Amino acid sequence: MNRFLNILTGWLAFACVIILGKTGGALRRRVSDQPMAWEDYAFLGLVVASLFFLHYAVERYLIPPGVFTREQRKELLEGAEAGYRRTFFRGALGISLFFLVAYGVEYLRASAVISETKGNWMIYSVFFLILGILGRARGIILHLAAQGKPV
């Protein structure tokens, strides 16, 4: 069952990457003053869900539940927080969410602005998400390295 969940998570993460790749085209299509349709809201919901699921999938890949028990995962993440708490990379996840909100506002704002002037904030959101995940992985590695040192 765990192997099936890993395969399913991988395919869903791939679908999330494709959805996030389509954000620029969707933003360019939203330049007219037409009212929002349910498809627009559904796409925006998919974008938000994709970003959060991608974060979950990469974290699940870094700390696989088949290898670690729930208590071990919790202990590992709490131990990694000590070196990760006050770094730029911790804030990178928050910055990622900020750019996600900026994309949502830009997408929802139906204006007649020329499409070339609109920036795709999702690129920045994904970039800072990657930085945040790298920072968390670094914290985990440093925590594990500190456990191996003799006292």
- Alpha helices by DSSP H, the chain: 2-21, 23-29, 38-62, 70-84, 88-108, 121-148
Confirm whether pTM is higher than 0.85.
no
Q: Is 15 in a helix, a strand, or coil?
A: helix
Closest C-alpha among 19, 14, 110 to residue 58:
14
How far CA 138 is from CA of 50, 66, 77, 83, 134, in Å, comes to 24, 21, 11, 9, 6
- Please report the pLDDT score of residue 114 as a whole number: 46
Note the pLDDT tens digit of each residue in 67-123: 888 888 888 888 777 766 677 877 888 899 999 999 988 888 765 454 555 678 899
What share of the chain in percent tops pLDDT 90? 30
- Please report the pLDDT score of residue 35 as a whole number: 74
Average model confidence (pLDDT) across the chain: 83
Q: Can you tell me the distance from the alpha carbon of 105 to that of 86, in angstroms, rounded to the nearest whole number?
A: 29
Please tell me the least confidently modeled range out of 11-20, 37-46, 109-118.
109-118
